[in-house]
A and B are shown apart, each in its own frame.
Chain A
Amino acid sequence: MTARTGAGIRPAIRFDHVSKAFDNRPAVEDIDLAVAPGSFTVLIGPSGCGKSTLLGMSAGLEPPTEGYVFVHDCEVKGPTEGTALLFQQHNLFPWMTAAGNVAFALENTGLSRRDARGEALRLLGHVGLGAFADKVPAELSGGMRQRVALVRAFALKPRLLLMDEPFGALDHQTRRMMQAYLLATWRDSGATVMLVTHDLTEALVLADRIVLMSGSPGRVTEVIDVIAPRPRDLADPALAAICRRLEAHLEAEAIRGEFGPDELARLGVLS
């Protein structure tokens, strides 16, 4: 699959000189970024660089302090229909069964309780989770929970899916399986995905485009288009080169975050 980042297409998300401060402390500063519709964008950067803040603003959960955020050409002023959100944890409500969680979303669209449950069972059955429909989240594995959460997110047929380290809590094998699952779901839905991660491999496996950020306050440092067929082979020299670039950047950021300039001079790092 080629990267769907063609010029001239109206962006799914557009950050127009966006800054956001919490209690007068800047979290992100002067973000200018456009995300192509149907593309898969990965935000990567050190902890506290405002990746999650960008997601929150795109979801309409918090307004920017300065600038504008547009989703599908509409300024975001609150939670928008057609935008789904997935976190690392606390996605499924523990007091509802898997089917109950999916039905909760469907009921919000005006479906009756019974119809919502029927549709939830159908959707869960469709992805092989029918047998777990009446289990509560605590009875499901971490991977299954995220799958149910994805089923619920896609139940509302979103055009934009925002994910904040969705597979961060999963073990390596489950994470790889979930990445494949996400790619397949994304391809079938045609939705735009913006995903935040710490994991370089994850970024390389998933992204059409990697947005590299640096910390405090968060800024976009670099935007890298990843043009390689999926499933991705990490041994591909082009990907390996990108990986080295990302690694160098993140390492520099991590060191910059942990040590002050005087300490760096003493250690002789980055000199």
Chain B
Amino acid sequence: MASLDLGAAKETRPMRRDKPRRLPRALTTVFWFALAWGLLIGLWELGTAQGFLNDRILPPPSETIPFLLSGGANVGFGVQKAGLIDAVVVTLGRIAIGLSCGLGLAVLVGALIVEFVPARRLFMPIVQTIAPISPVAWIPFAIAIVGIGDPAAIFVVFMAIFGSMAVAAVAAFDAVPGEYVKVATTLGAGRLRIWFRVLLPGALPGIMTMTRMSLFGAWMAVLAGEMAGINSGLGYLIMMGQQMYNMKLVMSGIITIGAIGFLLDRVMLLIQHRVLWWERRT
């Protein structure tokens, strides 16, 4: 997925520069995307039809995709019954909240670290230690503290991204050329104004990139959390599929994760272009 994203990011610039070539280029991207997946799905279908692949473990696309689209991917019975859409909504909500909190606090802590020397000495060791902890490691702790459910999942997402985002925010602020701050100071700008009009916009490209990376981290963390005890959401759906030996359900979950992850990244790319408007105008 990472290499695919890099390719797409590179293509966006020339596309904007010469508009006439934009449509064919976009079409080419879509064509290859469809072809690649068409081939893979075709081979999968062929493999199960010919008996190379066990269709009880790897049900063919001709069964999985209708199952996915028909809304048959349900978990539980009666009042506890939860459909695929519900699971997706639950999972996305957790990411949205966890990511927003993580981003907001990481930028705030990053700013404090950059602004105040004692804050750098005090917070930097903590942030650098939290950053490499696997989000999965927080799951038992989260469940013990806040119990099963949304708060635990949000906490896991938050812990997954906060450390690395704070470190990246500090790096982004530190990378803003010192001349900008000096110029703003001599132009009579106060410290707060320098933060909002100079340092924040100056660090925004770095912050946007780190947010896009963190989105992947959050996506992985929430699914892991849902598989490891937080009993709802898309990750839980897959676990249920395993426990009921419903491989169509498992495959549906996996396809949904891939598709939504891809779409989320596209959306982030659009937001990035919108927020960094001045970078598009060269």
User: A87 is contacted by which of B179, B197, B201, B278 (Cβ under 8 Å)?
Assistant: B179
User: A104 is contacted by which of B179, B182, B187, B281 (Cβ under 8 Å)?
Assistant: B187
Whether A91 pairs with B183 at a CB distance below 8 angstroms is: yes
A138 and B278 in contact (CB under 8 A), knowing A87-B179, A90-B180, A91-B179? yes
| A233 CB to nearest chain B CB (Å) | 35
| B178 CB to nearest chain A CB (Å) | 8
CB closest residue in chain A, given B201: A95
Whether B188 pairs with A105 at a CB distance below 8 angstroms is: yes
> Does B198 sit at the interface, judged by CB under 8 A?
yes
CB closest residue in chain B, given A78: B185
A156 and B187 in contact (CB under 8 A), knowing A138-B278, A138-B282? yes
> Does B28 sit at the interface, judged by CB under 8 A?
no
| B135 CB to nearest chain A CB (Å) | 33
CB closest residue in chain A, given B204: A95
> Does A61 sit at the interface, judged by CB under 8 A?
yes
CB closest residue in chain A, given B188: A108
CB closest residue in chain B, given A83: B186
Interface string of A191-224 (1 = CB under 8 A from B): 0000000000000000000000000000000000
A89 and B185 in contact (CB under 8 A), knowing A104-B197, A136-B278, A138-B278? no
Whether B189 pairs with A94 at a CB distance below 8 angstroms is: no
Residues in chain A near residue B278, CB distance under 8 A: 94-96, 136, 138
Residues in chain B near residue A90, CB distance under 8 A: 177, 179-180, 183
**In chain A between 123 and 149, which residues have their CB closer than 8 angstroms to a CB of chain B?**
135-136, 138-139
The number of chain A residues with a CB under 8 A from chain B is 28
Alpha-carbon separation in the docked complex, A84 to B193 (Å): 18
> Does A42 sit at the interface, judged by CB under 8 A?
no
| B54 CB to nearest chain A CB (Å) | 56
Whether B204 pairs with A108 at a CB distance below 8 angstroms is: no
CB closest residue in chain B, given A89: B179
Alpha-carbon separation in the docked complex, A87 to B186 (Å): 12
A sample of 15 more A-B contacts (CB under 8 A), given A79-B185, A95-B201, is: A59-B182, A61-B182, A79-B186, A85-B183, A87-B182, A90-B180, A96-B197, A104-B184, A104-B187, A104-B189, A108-B188, A109-B188, A138-B278, A139-B281, A139-B282
Per CB-CB distance, the 8 closest pairs between chain A and chain B, nearest first, are A90-B179, A108-B188, A95-B201, A138-B282, A85-B186, A90-B177, A105-B187, A136-B278
| A residues adjacent to B (C-beta < 8 A) | 56, 59-61, 79, 81, 83-87, 89-91, 93-96, 104-105, 108-109, 135-136, 138-139, 152, 156
Identify 29 residue pairs between A and B in the complex whose beta-carbon atoms are under 8 Å apart, listed by A's number. Answer: A60-B186, A79-B186, A79-B188, A84-B187, A85-B182, A85-B183, A86-B183, A87-B182, A87-B183, A89-B179, A90-B179, A90-B180, A91-B183, A93-B180, A94-B278, A94-B279, A95-B204, A95-B278, A96-B197, A96-B278, A105-B187, A108-B187, A135-B281, A136-B281, A136-B282, A139-B281, A139-B282, A152-B187, A156-B188
